[in-house]
């Protein structure tokens, strides 16, 4: 009987430990995914600003405004849903960039925000150089 109780206690202890490890693993995966998305947003915003600066000759003030606009759009529910559909590997290796970029430049809120930032000449260049 003592052996049975000892074995039962050991089995319960292993079961509790396995559940704790599973919880810790799930939390670590969640943090990794969140960090990957944040890194993706920062890198993507920087790349978009560089690209738009080159194409539209943005001033420093405009670069800052465009960066804020890109980040705010990427943090919108719509874009978070899109970004969330990518695996962390896709976010870090750049394969998600093209689809996200296309969605961003076709987004009505982004276009409106960008129109508020650009000069009339830059808007004309944007129509010609940026696929909007």
Within the chain, where are the H helices? 2-56, 60-74, 77-84, 88-93, 97-105, 108-117, 120-129
pLDDT, tens digit (0-9, with 9 covering 90-100), for 65-109: 999 999 999 889 998 898 888 887 787 677 788 888 889 989 999
Q: pTM score, two decimals?
A: 0.65
Cα separation, 102 vs 100, whole angstroms: 5
Strand, coil or helix: 98: helix
Whether residue 59 has pLDDT greater than 90: yes
Cα separation, 63 vs 47, whole angstroms: 11
Tokens of 12: 């319960």
């Amino acid at each position: 009987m003592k052996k049975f109780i000892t074995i039962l206690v050991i089995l319960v202890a292993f079961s509790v430990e396995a559940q704790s490890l599973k919880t810790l693993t799930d939390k670590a995966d969640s943090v990794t995914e969140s960090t990957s998305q944040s890194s993706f947003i920062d890198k993507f915003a920087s790349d978009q600003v560089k690209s738009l600066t080159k194409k539209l000759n943005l001033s420093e003030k405009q670069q800052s405004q465009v960066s804020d606009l890109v980040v705010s759009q990427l943090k919108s529910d719509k874009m978070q849903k899109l970004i969330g559909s990518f695996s962390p590997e896709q976010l870090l290796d750049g394969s998600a960039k093209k689809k996200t970029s296309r969605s961003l430049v076709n987004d009505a809120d982004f276009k409106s925000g960008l129109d508020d930032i650009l000069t009339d000449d830059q808007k004309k260049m944007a129509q010609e150089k940026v696929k909007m």
